[in-house]
Structure formats: C-alpha cells, structure tokens
Amino acid sequence: MSLDSITQNIDDAVSDFFDPVATTVGDIVFYAVSVGDAELPLIVAWLVIAGLVFTGWFGLVQARKIKLAFNVVRGKYDEPDAPGEVTHFQALTAAVSGTVGLGNIAGVAVAVSIGGPGATFWMILCGLLGMATKFVEVTLGVKYREVHPDGTVSGGPMHYLPKGLAERFGRGGAQLGKVLAVMASIMVLFFGLFGGNLLQANQSYAQIASTAGGEDGFMASSAGAVLFGLVVSALVGLVLLGGIRSIASVTSRLVPAMALMYVTACLIVILFNVTAVPDAIGDILQGAFQADGVVGGVIGALIVGFQRAAFSNEAGLGSAPIAHSAVKTKHPASEGLVALLEPFIDTVIVCTMTALTIVIAAPDSWTEAREGESIGGVTITSDAFETVLPWFPHLLTVAVLLFAFSTILTWGYYGLKAWAFLFGRSKTSEMTFKAIWSVFVIAGSLLSLDSLISLADSALFLLSVFNIIGLYLLAPVVKRELSSFLEHIRTRRAGTGAEGEDAKAPVAEAP
C-alpha cells in the first residue's frame, strides 16, 4: 500500500470518527442567532462586547496610551535587573507571530467577498476594541506569572485565573480557578497541536506544492511532503530547544521582515492604482452603512468584519499572555500597554492592507466570489497582487511559509507551557512534548485532519468564555497596576527633570 493510500485512509478514519463530535461542539460554541438576514455567532458578540466594556472601563486606553506603548516597546522604560527572559519588543513579536498568519491573507479575502468592502470598516473597529481586551489579559498574565529558580517564566490563563481569583475571592475563587486553569491548559494544548501546528504545516505545504510544479511536481508527491515536513520539523525543533529566548530571537527578526515585505507589496499595488483609492475608501465607508455584500447587507458586513477581526487577533482568548508573561519588567501594566499594539498590527494594519489591496485591484476572482462563486481566499489575494506583480505567487509562498513557521514556533511555546502545567516541568516531560510537537509538523504535511482542526478551533474559542469572565472579575487589579505604572513614570520623570505626556492623563475609574 502506498503512502498516499495510508494517509488518505487515516484522514478518512479520523473524519468518520470525529466529524459528528466536531460538528456538535462547533454548533454549540459557534451558536448563532439571526440578526436581519445574517447569522451572528454569540461567541463573536461575547468577544466584541468585552472589547467595548474594557474600552469604556479604562477610558479609551488604546487611544490615550498608544504613544506610551510605543515608548515602552522601544526600550525607554527598560529595567535591566527586572525578572523575565525577553525584552518588550521580543515579547511583542513572539505574540504577533502567533496571530499573523494565513488568516490575514485568505481570511480577509473571504470576509470582503461575503460582507463586501464594508466589512473592512467593521474589521478595523473590532481590532481597535480588541486592543483594550489584550491590554487587560496581558497585564494579568505578567502580574500573576511564575518566575522559576532558573530564571525562566510561566504565565497565561492557567496561572492568572487560579491566582487572581484566589486573591480576590478566597477559597471559593481558588477552587474555581484551579478548575479553569486545567481547562485552559487542555484547550491551549489541543488547539496548539492541531490549529497552531498541524494546520499551519498543512497549509504551508499545500502552498509550496502548488507553486513548485503543481500536481505533477515532486513536492506534490508523498516523498515531497515528507521531505518538507522533516525540514520544517528540524528547524522548529532547533529553535524550540532554546526556549522563549530562542523563539523571541527568531521572531524579533522574522516578524518585522515578513510584515514589511507583505505591507510593501500591498503598498505597491495601491500606488499603481492610486487613482482608485478615493473610490475604494468610499466603497468601504458606504458598504459599512448601506446594504452591500452577499450576506445580510449592513448587518452582514458588520458581522463578517467583526468575526474576521476576532478570529485574527485572538484578543480575549488567553493565548497571547503566555508569550508576554516572559517579558523583563517589574510593572505588569507596562507589558499590557505593549500588548495592545498587537491587534493594531495584526488587524488594523495587516488585515486592512490586504482588504484595501483587494478592493482597489478588484480582481475577477473577487467579483466572482461576491456573486456567489466558491473561490479560495488565497486565490483572491494572489490575483489582486498579480494585477501589478506577476511574480507575487512566489512572494506569497514565501510569506505563507514565514507566517506558518513563526506561528508553529509561538504555539509550540504556548503548548509547552500548557503541557508543563498539566504534567510538570521536568526535562523528560519537556523533551516528550517537543518530540510530539515535531512529529505533528511532519504529520501536518501529510494529513489534513479537518475535523480535529475544527474541534480545536471550538476549544480555543470556548476558552474565551472562561477567560473573559476572569478578566471582568480581575479588571480592578489591572486598574491598580496601570495606576502604579503611571506613578512610576511620573516619579522617574520627576527624578530626571524630563517632561512628557506619557503619564499625565488619569486612569478611568472602574465601575
């Protein structure tokens, strides 16, 4: 029996077993209610409402403190003797690498096809709201992290939920927190293996096989798939061996490079069609408030835009605090401010640039998709770039590979921390996880396992329910941490005689 037959049989067997489970769980987690002619998943509403609440609770912190956030990222308030493993910039790039991926390329194309250009407006708005949620969860991640004797750090919802709830609500909070911590670890680990690893390997392999000879090329064969998996697995394994310092060292170079490369390509297309920019912006604004799109008119555009942004930047899901917790700082809110830049980069910049490129270039495939044809998001985005850059499919392949590689690295770290919480931090336990992670990279090149990936998506978004409840309960802690950090800046400025706006604005009182 050939390897192709074996992998197909495995895929079929897994689908037969898990499809009913994945469908049932997905129907529950992504349960949708009718709003006009469109369907609104309640989990998306849950995430967006959290962004609205925290935006009001902290007095538009994402607008008032964005300058301070940039100052922290560039090292203005660094403290060399602070506990932690990585700089603010490295923590940010590590977390961004876990969110910026194929969804920014393919998912956005699907969003502006289904919801029309107006979906872009709502996507941006949701990204801006998500900045406040990210600020809250990352501040808590650093506040309740665990610094181990060897200097390494563990953080995330599996730490701030039990510790924070115990601190605020005593024994009852501690018991609830322990249950939530175990559930959070299981969900992070499960999504990491299938969504953060196997799916990324599968999609990046499919892209390289498509551009390297197509169905008749060597890369499309089982041998090509195994070779691809082995190479990527070896590279991932080498980086993971060095822990978050090694991952951050790679992502701090990789993320800016791939973002610059992709955004530059977008700008080239936009500049070549500069006369179409006013009309494109008009279409986006008009489509946001007038019936335009395949599904549900204005409400459809709003829902599709919100859904794409929520899925893309992961604000409220509890994943990013795991990476940010490793930062070198004595002030948790300093990294919370850094983290609010994450949805800005992922959604407001990268996703918006993709949407603008598609709307301005208006490739035939996008027009056909808006008329109801089933066309892949990668194809639409690739066609948009190809109107100006005939060689873009090759650049897209590089972008997909880089995005996928960085995502596998970051989710490898997330998965390791969840694994360690469940099974302990011994060397044997750690090496066991890294071996499993490497095997999944190879498996992803050969298997699709769509039902398990769908189930993993459901698990991660289910985590947001418990995570955001915890964020609401612990928000007063975040307010105190922000006040403490701003006071630290004021004291520091008074000592140096420096003046500035960073710490002048008051913090909104928590209701």
DSSP 383-394: HHHHTT-TTHHH
CA triple 467-468-470, angle to 5 deg: 70
Residue 314, Ramachandran bin (φ over 0: left; ψ between -120 and 50: alpha; else beta) = left
Q: Which two tokens stand for residue 154?
A: 């563990």
CA distances in angstroms from 486 to 69, 88, 293, 337, 345, listed in the order given = 12, 17, 45, 11, 24
CA triple 192-195-197, angle to 5 deg: 65
Residues written for the chain: 511
Q: Tell me the residue type at 88.
A: H
CA pair distance 386, 363, nearest whole angstrom = 9
Q: Do 33 and 42 touch, CB atoms closer than 8 A?
A: yes
Local structure of residue 510 (DSSP, 8 states): P
pLDDT at position 63 is 94
CA pair distance 139, 136, nearest whole angstrom = 5
Q: Do 400 and 102 touch, CB atoms closer than 8 A?
A: yes
Half-sphere exposure of 216 (CA within 13 A, CB side): 0
Handedness of CA 453, 457, 458, 459 (dihedral sign): positive
pLDDT at position 496 is 62
Report, at the CATH architecture level, how domain 3-496 is classified.
Answer: Up-down Bundle (1.20)
Q: Do 93 and 248 touch, CB atoms closer than 8 A?
A: yes
Domain boundaries, the chain: 3-496
pLDDT at position 497 is 52
Q: Tell me the residue type at 118.
A: G
pLDDT at position 21 is 82
The residue whose two tokens read 């997905």 is 26
DSSP 422-468: HH-S-HHHHHHHHHHHHHHHHHHHH---HHHHHHHHHHHHHHHHHHH
Number of Cβ within a 10 Å radius of residue 155: 27
Could you tell me the mean pLDDT of each successive run of 10 residues in the chain, 511 residues long?
69 73 84 78 88 95 94 88 90 86 78 84 90 96 93 92 92 88 90 86 81 72 84 89 85 85 90 91 84 55 75 84 93 95 90 90 85 78 85 80 87 93 90 91 78 78 89 95 93 65 50 38
pLDDT at position 2 is 66
pLDDT at position 4 is 65
CA pair distance 385, 91, nearest whole angstrom = 31
pLDDT at position 510 is 43
Q: Which of 381, 319, 373 is nearest to 102 (CA)?
A: 381
